Amino acid sequence: MDKVPASAAVNGSVKLVKGCGCAYASGLVNSVLRKIAKDGFTYEKTGEKIKDLSIIYSCPKALVSKFVEDYGEEKTEKILSSSIGARPVTARVNTLKASPDELIALLSGENAVAEKCPEDENYIILKNTGAVEELKAYKAGFFHVQDISCGKAVKALSPKAGDTVFDMCSSPGGKAFTAAQLMKNKGQNTRF
């Protein structure tokens, strides 16, 4: 979103407000966003840590308070800061066809940038790939785009070759692909 011109962001936001039946608020939205685009967003801290974190990260005070109670201020701020901004695009390597290192090399040959994912050895982080569906490695089934959290659900299931798996919320099918890989393509994988 950093590459979207401010005028386009303001205009798009005003259209969204009008489109959701709140045309009466479009002038206010336009005025506030134009002012922020011109002057930047500044916030004078209150000195109340929970209130400040709530405002800075657009998170309800009750939730910030619970996080601080459970995790402390430092970890809470890390949690909240990770909830904003762009998440990296991750892909599950089809380990039946390639290792992560082999896939990174293949993608490099297609002028796509990929690196190992520190959270899980069977995932890579994709950068500057352009349209993923146009990559030869994608078309050949060497990987599928999947957030690591989805893969963790399948990993917790721990399917083995010969197992029967029912994926009750399969769309677009990434968890089913991951289950099939973990079962070495041997077993029943039914998707709903």
Cis peptide before 100 (omega within 30 of 0): no
- State pLDDT tens for residues 78-88: 999 988 877 78
Inter-CA distances, 122 with 47, 87, 144, 157, Å: 44, 18, 11, 16
Nearest residue to 4 (alpha-carbon basis) of 112, 90, 88, 86 = 86
Asked whether the whole model's pTM tops 0.85, one would answer no
- State pLDDT tens for residues 115-127: 999 999 999 999 9
Q: Which CATH class is domain 89-191?
A: alpha beta
Question: Do you know the residue count of the chain?
Answer: 192
Structure tokens at 134: 């146009």
Domain positions in the chain: 1-41, 43-86, 89-191
Identify the pLDDT of residue 44: 85
Query: Which of 46-50, 126-130, 139-143, 165-169 tops mean pLDDT?
Result: 139-143
- State pLDDT tens for residues 1-56: 456 788 899 999 999 999 888 899 999 999 999 999 998 878 788 999 999 999 99
Tell me whether residue 138 is exposed, middle or buried, using C-beta atoms within 10 angstroms of its C-beta: 0 to 12, 13 to 18, 19 or more. buried
